[in-house]
Amino acid sequence: MYFLYLCNDFVQRQYDMNDLILRTLQGKKTERPAVWFMRQAGRVLPDYLKLRDLHSFDEIMHTPDLCAQVTLMPVHTIGVDAAILFSDILVVPTAMGANISWTDKGPVFSTPLCQYSDASKQLKPDASKLDYIYRNIDEIKSRISDGTPLIGFCGGPLTTLCYMLQGRSTDNQFNDAVSYIFSNPAETDRLIEALTEMTIEYARNQVKHGVQLFQIFETNAGVLPQNEYIAHFMPAIQRIGQAVKEMGVPVIYFAKSLGLGLQAVTPDMCDFVSIDWQMDFYEARKLVNPAIGLQGNLDPRILFASEEIIQQKLESYRPYWEEHHNWILNLGHGVPPQAPLKSLQFITNYVKRSW
């Protein structure tokens, strides 16, 4: 009987350990930094590459069994503290009538909206087109037995709109999309409103189906001047973040290349803000509201460096974490293609052994 009690106690303690990232987001002091990686589900995982030899990206996204497999792979292979839903930031446009081809060179929209002066009238919203994602979440949750948190996410309104307007990325500049935004301010506002409404519904439904934290990916924040982004797109971020936070789920906001615009991020938008690798970590801390925690900042390219160099970089964050504890270890952007899997494993193992 005593042995059974010890077993149950171990299982409970193991379950509690797996809420490390949730406790961090709640502002609690933790044993070590929580760690996960943007774009951890795919690319560098051997089992994922094997699946991709058999199934297309779109097929994996639309098949609950395959989606669940890929979502949970990095938890077992890399040892991260959270799983993130295997999906794409551009699923919301498909629910607004966009036809997207998922190619090896990225998503391609068959009908870019920038060719229409009345682009908002081309939208055909149908939220039911996202139901498959909620089935995927249900399947993933049914396979998690150890308490590993599941991260949900959406694309930020500017990032999503850039693809919808231009149709595809050209060196991540989106010149056609930016030109449209400046040339058609009233129509752009209508597009932002439609995107925000659909994204809020999408985010809330992810929470209803069991995601425990949520990240907003604004990868293209830097394509506009900071004042333009803050004035026209950050109100939408605030609405999305508030909608999720009101449901009791913490929010992380990632705005790549936002720079000094980090000063405009407020606690009602998010609980943590993710810092890209182009910003000095300690300078970012001075800019960000003290009530907001930090995530990331590790240069993704350091994954190609030696373990000694990676360790030195990790140690540079230790003084901050030991004093404040409101930092989640992550990259300053997604895992690069061809990055060594062993580097990701080294980071998670080092943090678990040495912090």
What pLDDT is recorded for position 106?
79
Interval 136-140 mean pLDDT: 98
Interval 11-33 mean pLDDT: 79
Residue 11 confidence (pLDDT) above 70: no
Q: What stretch of H or E contains 252? A: strand 251-255
Residue 173 confidence (pLDDT) above 70: yes
Q: Rg of the chain's alpha carbons, rounded to an integer?
A: 20
Residue 206 confidence (pLDDT) above 80: yes
Q: Which of 163, 202, 229, 253 is catalytic?
A: 163
CB 318 within 8 A of CB 351: no
Cα separation, 298 vs 276, in Å, equals 8
Altogether, the residues listed in the chain come to a count of 355
Q: Which of 23, 39, 135, 168 is catalytic?
A: 39
Q: Using one digit for the tens of pLDDT, what is the confidence trace for 68-105?
A: 999 999 999 999 999 999 999 999 999 999 998 888 77
Is 5 known to be catalytic? no
Name the percent of the chain lying above pLDDT 90: 89
Residue 16 confidence (pLDDT) above 70: no
Residue 17 confidence (pLDDT) above 80: no
Interval 107-133 mean pLDDT: 94
What pLDDT is recorded for position 2?
36
Q: Using one digit for the tens of pLDDT, what is the confidence trace for 220-235?
A: 999 999 999 999 999 9
Name the pairing type of β-strands 106-109 and 100-103.
Answer: antiparallel
Q: Which of 52, 168, 190, 204 is catalytic?
A: 52
Q: Say which range, 95-109, 114-128, 139-153, has the weakest mean pLDDT.
A: 95-109
Q: Using one digit for the tens of pLDDT, what is the confidence trace for 287-336?
A: 999 999 999 999 999 999 999 999 999 999 999 999 999 999 999 999 99
CB 30 within 8 A of CB 23: yes
Q: Say which range, 16-20, 53-57, 241-245, 258-262, has the weakest mean pLDDT.
A: 16-20
Q: Given its phi and psi angles, is residue 336 left (phi above 0), alpha (psi -120 to 50 degrees) or beta?
A: beta
**How does 266-302 read in b/e, with b if 16+ C-beta sit within 10 Å?**
eeebbbbbbbbbebebeebbebbeeebbbbbbbebeb
CB 199 within 8 A of CB 92: yes
Q: What stretch of H or E contains 154? A: strand 150-155
Hey, what are 349's tokens?
A: 């193992």
End-to-end CA distance of the chain: 35
What pLDDT is recorded for position 10?
34
What pLDDT is recorded for position 170?
62
Interval 17-33 mean pLDDT: 93
Q: Which of 19, 48, 81, 88 is catalytic?
A: 88
What pLDDT is recorded for position 107?
86
What pLDDT is recorded for position 344?
98
CB 336 within 8 A of CB 42: no
Q: How far is CA 233 from CA 9, 96, 208, 230, 265, in A?
A: 48, 19, 26, 6, 12
Is 88 known to be catalytic? yes
Which of 159, 139, 140, 136 minimizes the C-alpha distance to 149? 140
Q: Which of 23, 43, 168, 239 is catalytic?
A: 43
Interval 25-50 mean pLDDT: 95
Cα separation, 143 vs 352, in Å, equals 24
Q: How confident is the model at residue 13 (pLDDT cuts 50, 70, 90)?
A: very low
Residue tagged 């026209």 (tokens)? 232
Residue 217 bridge partners (DSSP): 155, 254
CB 81 within 8 A of CB 18: yes
How does DSSP classify residue 336?
Answer: P
Class of domain 37-354: alpha beta
Name the percent of the chain lying above pLDDT 70: 94
Q: Residue ranges of the domains in the chain?
A: 37-354
Is 39 known to be catalytic? yes
Q: How confident is the model at residue 7 (pLDDT cuts 50, 70, 90)?
A: very low
CB 330 within 8 A of CB 294: no
Residue 12 confidence (pLDDT) above 70: no
Cα separation, 344 vs 354, in Å, equals 15
Which of 191, 224, 23 minimizes the C-alpha distance to 92? 191
Sign of the CA dihedral 235, 197, 241, 178?
A: negative
Is 52 known to be catalytic? yes
